[in-house]
């Protein structure tokens, strides 16, 4: 279009050969009737913006590469691309001169996005907006999507059938790395009544830290919406148990050591946290203790006093990311402590000591109770019986008290004493 306009301007501005004066006058009269071009106006008109019709920028969006393109315009000095995301808000990118494209980082598009291009052309800002929807029937997309990496080299992804999806729906999973160079389809689907509801991968090579997951679907009845997600593989990795667990005990302490597990990417010890489960073994089973959490900064070791741990014990350890407690599987139990017969003797000794203490406390309580009762209820004193207290004078008369007085003469007073006895009951 721009080439045709330039050719027309060249044809009208082409010089003509000189001719007769009549021809010159006729040409002058013709030019006087034409409108005056804008570039021949006074200087005060130069400050006004140029009003000219700009054709559409013809904006296009490639969701696979998350690239926005448009038709290049002449004299474009500045540009900006804007992606409006429902969850992340506005994402802006500046456009370099003479470039007519923008490439965004991977983001989920299943909620729909709005894209805008703004460029300056001849001191005029031109803007064009493009809405990218999620075509298909509402509620037909896969739902409850999640992925889990385990045993370093394996990954399972699962999803559920959309609530409004027809019976003949079929889903497909595609995975792309963050560099947008490697794309693969699920090699092994997990099915439920013939419908793909999961995927198992045994080879994770080529996947970068961020990966883009797309689940689209097909049906003969209606269009199926797609579901996509960007996942950080580190956050969905479930770590294996630590390696080489060893336990050493001396007379006072026990020391547990281990090695960090193997992961997809090499990580420092600070990226891990560990959980220890120490249990005591007995004939009746194991008694569970409180779980112990140890950070990776501890140097992959843990120590504790041996008091109370002389019996036979086992310890299990599992691993998780330091920022997200997604615990993996438990390790095999490692045993430490004394054998079971020795532990039984300790139990008997403890029972004997405990029984002795109980008996002592019981006797002490009874003795204190007896003393308290004696003080509250002392014995009642008995009335003294003067007649019966001395058995030698029982029923005897003290004749010495009745001796006559000296000097009273021959006259004496005689007292008659009669012994009174109790009559028999039959009298």
- Separation CA 353–CA 309 (nearest Å): 19
pLDDT over 70, % of the chain: 68
Residue 215: what are its φ and ψ, rounded to 5°?
Answer: -120, 110
- Separation CA 203–CA 185 (nearest Å): 12
pLDDT digits 0-9 by tens, 323-366: 888 899 999 999 887 755 444 555 676 788 888 888 888 888 87
Which token pair is 172? 């497909």
Smallest Cα–Cα separation from 317: which of 288, 276, 283?
276
pLDDT at residue 319 greater than cutoff 60: yes
Q: What's the pLDDT at 12?
A: 33
pLDDT at residue 171 greater than cutoff 90: yes
CATH of the structural domain 243-336, one choice from 3.40.640.10, 2.60.40.10, 3.30.110.40, 3.30.450.90: 2.60.40.10
pLDDT at residue 318 greater than cutoff 80: yes
- Average pLDDT along the chain: 76
Q: What's the pLDDT at 131?
A: 92
Burial of 173 (0-12, 13-18, 19+ CB in 10 A): buried
CATH of the structural domain 143-235, one choice from 3.40.50.2300, 3.50.50.60, 2.60.40.10, 2.40.420.20: 2.60.40.10
Contact 154, 188 (CB under 8 A): no
Residue 44 confidence class, pLDDT cut points 50, 70, 90: very low
Classify domain 60-132 at the CATH topology level: Immunoglobulin-like (2.60.40)
* Domain boundaries defined on the chain: 60-132, 143-235, 243-336
pLDDT at residue 53 greater than cutoff 50: no
Residue 421 confidence class, pLDDT cut points 50, 70, 90: low
Give the best-scoring range by mean pLDDT among 1-10, 75-84, 174-183, 230-239.
Answer: 230-239
Q: What's the pLDDT at 45?
A: 28
What is the radius of gyration, based on Cα positions, of the chain? 55
Distances (CA, A) of 196 to 159, 202, 229: 9, 18, 18
- Separation CA 187–CA 383 (nearest Å): 114
Q: State the Cα angle at 59 between 126 and 76, rounded to 5°.
A: 40
Residue 255: what are its φ and ψ, rounded to 5°?
Answer: -125, 125
pLDDT digits 0-9 by tens, 76-105: 777 889 999 988 898 998 887 778 888 898
Strands 285-288 and 195-201 turn out to be unpaired
Give the best-scoring range by mean pLDDT among 29-43, 277-291, 351-365.
Answer: 351-365
- Separation CA 58–CA 77 (nearest Å): 18
Q: What's the pLDDT at 223?
A: 93
pLDDT over 90, % of the chain: 33
Q: What's the pLDDT at 363?
A: 82
Q: What's the average model confidence in pLDDT over 247-251?
A: 87
Q: What's the average model confidence in pLDDT over 13-33?
A: 37
Q: What's the average model confidence in pLDDT over 153-167?
A: 95
pTM equals 0.62
Smallest Cα–Cα separation from 169: which of 200, 144, 188, 197?
197
| Residue scoring higher pLDDT (1 or 104) | 104
Residue 377 confidence class, pLDDT cut points 50, 70, 90: low
Going across the sheet that includes 101-103, the strands are 60-62, 67-69, 101-103
Q: What's the pLDDT at 381?
A: 63
Q: What's the average model confidence in pLDDT over 308-314?
A: 74
Q: What's the pLDDT at 13?
A: 34
Q: What's the pLDDT at 273?
A: 94
Q: Do domains 60-132 and 243-336 have the same CATH topology?
A: yes
- Separation CA 314–CA 278 (nearest Å): 6
| Residue scoring higher pLDDT (73 or 209) | 209
| Residue scoring higher pLDDT (409 or 254) | 254
Q: What's the pLDDT at 337?
A: 77
Q: What's the average model confidence in pLDDT over 53-78?
A: 79
Residue 155: what are its φ and ψ, rounded to 5°?
Answer: -145, 135
Residues in contact with 376: Cβ distance below 8 Å, sequence separation at least 6, in sequence order = none
């Amino acid at each position: 279009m721009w080439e045709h306009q330039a050719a027309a301007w060249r044809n009208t501005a082409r010089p003509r050969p000189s001719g007769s004066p009549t021809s010159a006058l006729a040409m002058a009269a013709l030019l006087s009737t034409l409108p005056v071009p804008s570039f021949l106006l006074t200087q005060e008109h130069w400050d006004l913006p140029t009003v000219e019709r700009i054709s559409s920028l013809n904006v296009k969006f490639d969701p696979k590469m998350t690239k926005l393109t448009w038709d290049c315009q002449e004299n474009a000095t500045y540009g900006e691309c804007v992606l409006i995301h429902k969850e992340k808000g506005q994402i802006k990118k500046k456009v370099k001169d003479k470039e007519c494209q923008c490439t965004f980082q991977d983001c989920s598009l299943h909620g729909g996005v709005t894209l805008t291009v703004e460029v300056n052309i001849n001191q005029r800002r031109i803007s064009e907006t493009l809405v990218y929807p999620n075509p298909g029937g509402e509620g037909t997309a896969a739902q409850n999507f999640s992925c889990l990496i385990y045993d370093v080299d394996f990954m399972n992804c699962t999803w559920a059938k959309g609530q409004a999806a027809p019976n003949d729906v079929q889903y497909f999973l595609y995975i792309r790395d963050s560099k947008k160079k490697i794309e693969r389809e699920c090699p092994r689907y997990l099915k439920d009544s013939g419908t793909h509801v999961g995927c198992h991968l045994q080879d994770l090579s080529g996947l970068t830290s961020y990966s883009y997951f797309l689940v689209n679907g097909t049906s003969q009845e209606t269009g199926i919406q797609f579901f996509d997600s960007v996942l950080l593989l580190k956050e969905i990795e479930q770590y294996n148990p630590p390696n080489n667990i060893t336990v050493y005990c001396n007379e006072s302490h026990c020391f547990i050591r281990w090695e960090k597990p193997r992961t997809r990417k090499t990580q420092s010890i600070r990226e891990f946290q560990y959980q220890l489960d120490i249990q005591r073994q007995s004939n009746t089973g194991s008694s569970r203790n409180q779980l112990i959490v140890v950070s990776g900064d501890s140097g992959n070791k843990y120590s504790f006093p041996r008091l109370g741990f002389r019996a036979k014990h086992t310890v299990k350890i599992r691993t998780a990311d330091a920022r997200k407690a997604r615990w993996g599987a438990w390790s095999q139990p490692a045993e430490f402590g004394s054998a079971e017969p020795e532990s039984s003797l300790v139990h008997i000794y403890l029972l004997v000591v405990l029984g002795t203490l109980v008996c002592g406390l019981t006797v002490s309580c009874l003795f204190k109770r007896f003393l308290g009762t004696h003080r509250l209820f002392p014995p009642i004193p008995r009335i003294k019986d003067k007649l019966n207290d001395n058995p030698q004078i029982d029923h005897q008369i003290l004749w010495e008290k009745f001796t006559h007085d000296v000097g009273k003469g021959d006259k004496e007073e005689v007292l008659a004493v009669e012994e009174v006895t109790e009559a028999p009951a039959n009298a």
